[in-house]
Structure 1
Amino acid sequence: MRAAIYARQSLDKSGDSLAVSRQVAECRELAERNGWEVAEVYQDNDRSATNGKPRPEFARLLEDLRAGRHDVLICWHTDRLYRRLRDLVDLVELAERRSIKIATVRASDLDLSTPAGRMVASLLGSVASYEVQQKAARQIAANRQRAQNGLVLWARRPFGFDRDGTSVKVVKGEAAEIRKAAKAVLSGATLASVAADLNARGVTTTLGKPWTVTAVRRVLLNPRTAGRVVSKGEDYGGDAPAILDPETADRLGALLRDPARKAAPPSTEVKYLLSGLVRCGRESCDDAVMYATSNAKGVTVYRCRTCYGTRRLDLVDAVVMGVLVERLSRPDALDLLATDVDVTDLREKVVDARQRRDALAGMLADGLLSPDAARTQARRLTDLIDQLERQIADATGADPLAVLAQASDVAAAVERMSLRELREAIRTLMNVRILPSGKGVRFDPRHVALEWRER
């Protein structure tokens, strides 16, 4: 008799398919004892039989059984073959057309061509379904108990917290960022400005991504920041480590959940030349980013969020633009773009990086990479692609700085460029800092410190 072996494992944590291999080995021993010839082995590794998702090898097995390629089906246990009664119906329909015997290593053999065999199979399927539901209920109860004890084992680490075994601990640096953001928002800052500040200083989310308004709001409204444990929408109290005191968290929640608060996404249109680019030169501010705002007299200034020092926006812009135009008007301006880059080689590297990034999906589907590893690799490859494309742009004169450096009249070229393009040229060419000068001191161009970047 021609025998088919079917093996399945719901979750392959190690990725080595050992459980499936053991099933196949024991099924082969059963076939040998009965003198059956194993015609083919079907394996669905890391595939559940209860969630309704396709099992490719099970589907192929049914097609081969319908085609009459096998006389007996061997599995380690019937729950490896089916757990849903819908799958059993498919097998019964086959049995009504062909005499199919199901032999198992650890359960009773089934003859689906007889009423008694179908009744036993149905009972086994019902028991398997019951076990799955009970297991899910036990997992939910266990997760609830862990949450009540402050031991929630999150799938994604929340910003500001980490685990020490099963205990939650506060990450000091990230906690400081949360407190700073909360203070800024309660003082009137927008979520967009907080996100811009974090991104400008190179602070990323726990996934290594830039901050968005939504991400900042999610962190500030996370009950865990106030020491509360919430799981599946249920609040289990405040026994966990906290970053914000309850009063601050409540004020923040009331502010951010206020229906009157503007819900429309902030405009991404650039309005000011150096907002978010210029930094405070005061030593204690540690290069804090300065943003454009209006002072009490209605004058637009660049303000440091740390020391609250300000400088008139129009005067600072005039100094920076004057230096930029003067430098790019020199005969050696193109030296700023000098490079020995092999553009062809760079483009080949870009193609290779894109292909490697595209291949990650297949590796994830095949179980060769975990989701976290795939995300990490995708992020690294995306950063590499961005870096390579920037080098290509620099070498081929496709960036705003190249346009200015090659212009016969730099001042006129500046007038024609968009604000966004000018910002990109300044970002590429120089670091701008506002030096401290003391109260009441008149503006002096020397208070604007420019540092040329190496290309």
Structure 2
Amino acid sequence: MTNAAIYARISSDVSGDAHGVTGQVADGRALCEQRDWRVVEVYEDNDLAALAGGPRPRYADLMAAAEPLDVIVVYHLSRLWRNRRERAEGIERLKPLRVSIVSVKGPDLDLSTAYGRSMAGMLGEFDTWESEVKAERVRSHIERNASSGAQMAGGHRPYGYQPHYKVVSQGGEKVRRRITGVDLEPTEAAVVRECARRILAGESLVSVCDDLNRREIVTSAGRTWRTQTMRRMLCSARISGRRQHIPTDSYQGKTAPLLGPIVSDTSEWPAIITHAESDRLRTLLGGRVGTRPGSGTRKLLSGLLVCSRCGRPMVSRPQDGHPRYVCDANPGRGGCGRMYVNMARADERVRDLVLAALDSPGMAERLAQRDSPDDGIHQQIRDGEEALERLAADYGVMTRREWKAARTPILARLEKARAVLSRQSQTSALEGFHGPLDFMQERWAAMNTSQRRAVVTACVESITVYPPRSGGNRFDPDRLHPVWRA
């Protein structure tokens, strides 16, 4: 008796009820019964596309178990193969086993013969062509929608928004949904504004996420907040009422890049924050991992204190149970190892210096005036990034020396613009903080380390630590010399 295996696949099962593969299996069983074949096994890959060549677990099982089979029954040849590489590998796998492909809607193909293999290749190429044309049409439609600021219905509900959906039905089965309108979700939108303000003020992503989780505020998926989730939300152009487009060919595996080009300054999504705030967030959070704020919890003055002997930043190191800031002489650090200061006393001293400075006439005003927002800085950063993209496309057309000569001034302009933007963000930490001394002391006491550090870095560039005076072990506050920003 002929041994047959049935393979069924459907690319997209929006309803989740597997009706598509169930129908294919039923038709395959009917064909086997008609021809008096014994069904050895049924293999189903539901909701899995084949064009991109991604994993299909049951297809892999079928190929591994093909040796005792005589035929593989499919509804249509396109259900088995859409990808050129998989088709070629599949034909070569089944050829020596003398396994035939039989389609409910198509011809019988004996892969042990040249005719059967060539027909499988030609028919399969038409299937691939059809899929690629459809994919090009869909991509073009998505790009047009993005440029016009239209909404997209895919994915989970964006945090801060409440979309209204219309279910589009076909044959009584739900096949897709369409957004008919979007409203802000007031409570969540307020959280988005709070997070944006805190990050722009210099607080770390870790600190903000920990605070939301402590307050039992969850994501739109009902999960706890993680730094990557927070970063993607704040970098999204959507929350500023704009539209970005990230082509799928720029994905790293299945992960979309953090940032995509903004293709429309208007969108059907209501804005939660301003364009300028969004640009600052995208610049601050969208850089290399090592340059992004908030990768972990730091001590108040780590990296801000500078050794007067060697000029290297000082770090936190406990000794004999007492936390200290030290000049680190370990390999790779480059410090002299000859300077240290008590952490608690240094933190208190810098706190007093900063609060006293902010309580002095005009200090906060001078800082704000020095780093007043410049709307053109965001456009300068965009222009620089676009210039780098155009230059990258020319790599190989010009010589390496010409390419480097063109790239150097662009990087210099970008670095300068980002430095200006960074100063503006540091000054944001003082919004709502400045006031009478007792008010600032109360605010300071209620802050976490990340928030306090943001206030300090808004006021000082660095703090130089000098050697202690001889003849005493008491803490000398005059050892700390801040370099003020204004």
Aligned partner letter, 1:245:
T
Distance 1:74 1:221, change over 3 A: closer
Is the CA contact (8 Å cut-off) linking 2:245 and 2:262 kept in structure 1? yes
In 2, the alpha carbon distance for the partners of 1:262 and 1:59 equals 41
Query: 1:158: how far off?
Result: 3.1
Distance 1:296 1:239, change over 3 A: same
Distance 1:222 1:71, change over 3 A: closer
Is the CA contact (8 Å cut-off) linking 1:49 and 1:84 kept in structure 2? yes
Query: 1:229: how far off?
Result: 0.9
Corresponding residue for residue 161 of structure 2: 161
In 2, the alpha carbon distance for the partners of 1:150 and 1:176 equals 24
In 1, the alpha carbon distance for the partners of 2:195 and 2:96 equals 69
Corresponding residue for residue 114 of structure 1: 113
- Give CA deviations for 1:205-236 in whole Å, capped at 9, x if unaligned: 33444445555454444322221111212323
- Give CA deviations for 1:57-108 in whole Å, capped at 9, x if unaligned: 4444445542xx3433332211222233444445544665454443221011
In 1, the alpha carbon distance for the partners of 2:54 and 2:237 equals 35
Is the CA contact (8 Å cut-off) linking 1:101 and 1:111 kept in structure 2? yes
* TM-score with structure 2 setting the length: 0.49
Corresponding residue for residue 30 of structure 1: 31
Aligned partner letter, 1:157:
R
In 2, the alpha carbon distance for the partners of 1:218 and 1:80 equals 36
In structure 2, the residue corresponding to 1:168 is in which secondary structure? Answer: strand
In 2, the alpha carbon distance for the partners of 1:54 and 1:186 equals 41
- Give CA deviations for 1:35-60 in whole Å, capped at 9, x if unaligned: x2324132223144334345454444
Q: Output the aligned Cα RMSD.
A: 4.3
Is the CA contact (8 Å cut-off) linking 1:3 and 1:74 kept in structure 2? no
Corresponding residue for residue 104 of structure 2: 105
Corresponding residue for residue 128 of structure 1: 127
Distance 1:75 1:205, change over 3 A: closer
In 2, the alpha carbon distance for the partners of 1:111 and 1:185 equals 64
Aligned partner letter, 1:244:
I
Query: 1:121: how far off?
Result: 0.9
Aligned mate of 1:223, from 202, 224, 237 = 237
Q: Aligned residue pairs: how many? A: 292
Q: Does 1:297 pair with 2:298?
A: no
Corresponding residue for residue 144 of structure 2: 145
**Which 10-residue stretch deviates more, 157-166 or 244-253?**
244-253
**Which 10-residue stretch deviates more, 236-245 or 7-16?**
7-16
Identical-pair percentage: 28
Is the CA contact (8 Å cut-off) linking 2:244 and 2:263 kept in structure 1? yes
In structure 2, the residue corresponding to 1:236 is in which secondary structure? Answer: strand
* TM-score with structure 1 setting the length: 0.52
In structure 2, the residue corresponding to 1:176 is in which secondary structure? Answer: helix
Distance 1:176 1:118, change over 3 A: same
In 1, the alpha carbon distance for the partners of 2:13 and 2:282 equals 42
In structure 2, the residue corresponding to 1:8 is in which secondary structure? Answer: strand
Distance 1:310 1:198, change over 3 A: farther
In 2, the alpha carbon distance for the partners of 1:149 and 1:265 equals 33
Aligned mate of 1:236, from 227, 240, 263 = 263
Query: 1:171: how far off?
Result: 1.9
Corresponding residue for residue 451 of structure 1: none
Is the CA contact (8 Å cut-off) linking 1:7 and 1:43 kept in structure 2? yes
In 1, the alpha carbon distance for the partners of 2:101 and 2:227 equals 58
Q: Does 1:204 pair with 2:218?
A: yes
Aligned mate of 2:192, from 148, 162, 178 = 178
Corresponding residue for residue 245 of structure 1: 274
Aligned partner letter, 1:178:
V
Is the CA contact (8 Å cut-off) linking 1:6 and 1:41 kept in structure 2? yes
In structure 1, the residue corresponding to 2:137 is in which secondary structure? Answer: helix
Query: 1:29: how far off?
Result: 2.6
Query: 1:156: how far off?
Result: 3.6
Aligned partner letter, 2:185:
V
Distance 1:248 1:242, change over 3 A: same
